[in-house]
Amino acid sequence: MNKLCVIGLGYIGLPTASLFARSGCSVLGVDVNEAVVESLNKGQVLIKEEGLNQLVAEVIDQGFLSASTQVQPADVFIITVPTPIHEDKTANLDYVIQASEAILPHIQPGNVVIVESTIPPRTMYDVVGPIFQNKGWDLNSEIFLAHCPERVLPGKILQELIHNTRIVGGYNAESASRAAEVYRQVVKGEIIETTALTAEMTKLMENTYRDVNIALANELAKISSHLGVNTLDVIELANQHPRVNLHQPGPGVGGHCIAIDPYFIIEKSPEHSQMMQVAREINESMPLFVVEQVQRLVPTAGAKIAVLGLTYKGNIDDTRESPAFPIIRLLEEQGYYINVHDPYVKQDSVSYELKDFKAAVQDASCLLVLTDHNEFKQLPEKDIIQLMENPIVFDTKNCVRINSEIIQYYHYNNLYEG
Ligand code: SAJ
């Protein structure tokens, strides 16, 4: 089981391929993006992730990992392709289907096919299984399918892939057991075997739990702004209770996981998922809430706003589903001029002109902090005072520590409407 083909070399696929290669497996990484394949074969990594550069260079150099645009025969195929949503919030399974079909010509008896991509409930039974069954493959005795979702935190991917508990959901019991054997080569955490459907729902519920709890914190922020309650004090004190874990309010929920996964459940059971749907609506409503607060702080039309942070969360370069984009769009619709600064984002990955800190702050009426990068936790206050006539900081992530009395600092806990 040590000849692997990993399809999809993104945030999850590349670390996964590299860790199996480091364990001594012979791994072929496959991606449709030729630039990714080319740079990888030179040992270069396009993704910013702690420790990944060095690991990839090592295993490429040792010949345990190579990259190609073409699938080749292997003992184990791991599918780690994106599963985004369509405009109508239904799951886009095109990449999972294309990857499964790319494996078909190379599949052999005894092979294990693992889908790591996050997928709606019943996808293994109703979509992936039939792709192989319809070509005459017996899923009980000839080939073995499993869904093994990842649960790593971007920024800590390598260590979490190794140490987190791994759920292995088999198309049947034999498939779960064979997939578990594959992961034992890399995973030091517990490996729990279950059914594919249970694994699909488990993964989705992990992120839906978070989305609903973030929505609760965001709703508290709105209520607090209306009643003059200090949101952060309430959360901090309520969490003193041993069994309470109120999450943090923010500008909205970004990323290709928390903001997406609840829709995979809602799609399959719309009449029973009211709370999940309302939570999504609340989190999707936060950009407008943020813009309404900016309008209260800076009522002058045509004013300049410096947006600090485009990524969906701190200290990474990922901007997928980031609430910063709807916030900027809404502010521009209200007639504000926007400067954008984010030290983690490359200019060629976004359409906005990215400015350095001073250029972004120059003559701005308000600094709007949307991401909790470490660089934003201690801002250069002298520059702010010098570059802004009436310095206001609105920190939607409650991550900035301001010392100067001259700078007006706002978070949700002091935006009383009264
Ligand atoms: N956020 C809040 N308030 C909070 C926590 C987060 O507003 O209290 C926001 C963040 O700013 C961000 C978004 O939610 O915009 C999502 O951030 P996150 O750190 O919760 O989630 P991801 O997408 O980086 O990673 C999650 C993780 N899942 C859980 O924590 C249950 C990770 O373990 C998963 O592997 C990942 O989704 C995934 O790939 O599914």
80 has a pLDDT exceeding 60: yes
What pLDDT is stored for residue 155 in this prediction? 84
- CA 222 to each of CA 40, 263, 279, 283: distance values in angstroms, whole numbers, following the listed order: 46, 24, 14, 11
- 268 C-alpha to ligand 1 centroid (Å): 22
Render pLDDT for 138-151 as a digit per residue (tens, 0 to 9): 999 999 999 999 98
Question: Mean pLDDT across the stretch 22-35?
Answer: 97
413 falls in which pLDDT band (50, 70, 90)?
low
The mean pLDDT value of the chain amounts to 95
- 255 C-alpha to ligand 1 centroid (Å): 7
179 has a pLDDT exceeding 80: yes
Q: Is 381 in the pocket of ligand 1 (CB under 6 A)?
A: no
180 has a pLDDT exceeding 70: yes
Q: Is 373 in the pocket of ligand 1 (CB under 6 A)?
A: no
Plot region of 305 (φ>0 → left; ψ -120 to 50 → alpha; else → beta) = beta
| CA-based nearest residue to 146, from 223, 97, 200 | 200
- CA 102 to each of CA 5, 7, 244, 290: distance values in angstroms, whole numbers, following the listed order: 11, 9, 47, 45
416 falls in which pLDDT band (50, 70, 90)?
low
Q: Is 48 in the pocket of ligand 1 (CB under 6 A)?
A: no
- 152 C-alpha to ligand 1 centroid (Å): 10
16 has a pLDDT exceeding 60: yes
Question: Mean pLDDT across the stretch 263-284?
Answer: 98
Q: In percent, how much of the chain has pLDDT > 70?
A: 99
What pLDDT is stored for residue 417 in this prediction? 57
Task: Record the tokens describing residue 136, joined without a space.
Answer: 């005459």
- Distance in angstroms (rounded) separating the CA atoms of residues 207 and 108: 35
Question: Mean pLDDT across the stretch 351-377?
Answer: 97
Among protein residues, the one whose CA lies closest to atom 7 of ligand 1: 250
Render pLDDT for 327-355 as a digit per residue (tens, 0 to 9): 999 999 999 999 999 999 999 999 999 99
- Per the CB < 8 A criterion, the answer to whether 335 and 270 are in contact is no
| CA-based nearest residue to 376, from 352, 393, 388 | 393
199 has a pLDDT exceeding 90: yes
411 has a pLDDT exceeding 90: no
Residues assigned a catalytic role: 203, 257
What pLDDT is stored for residue 46 in this prediction? 83
What pLDDT is stored for residue 300 in this prediction? 87
418 has a pLDDT exceeding 60: no
- 258 C-alpha to ligand 1 centroid (Å): 6
CA 255 to ligand 1: nearest atom: 23
Question: Mean pLDDT across the stretch 38-61?
Answer: 91
Q: Is 156 in the pocket of ligand 1 (CB under 6 A)?
A: no
Q: Is 177 in the pocket of ligand 1 (CB under 6 A)?
A: no
Question: Mean pLDDT across the stretch 273-291?
Answer: 98
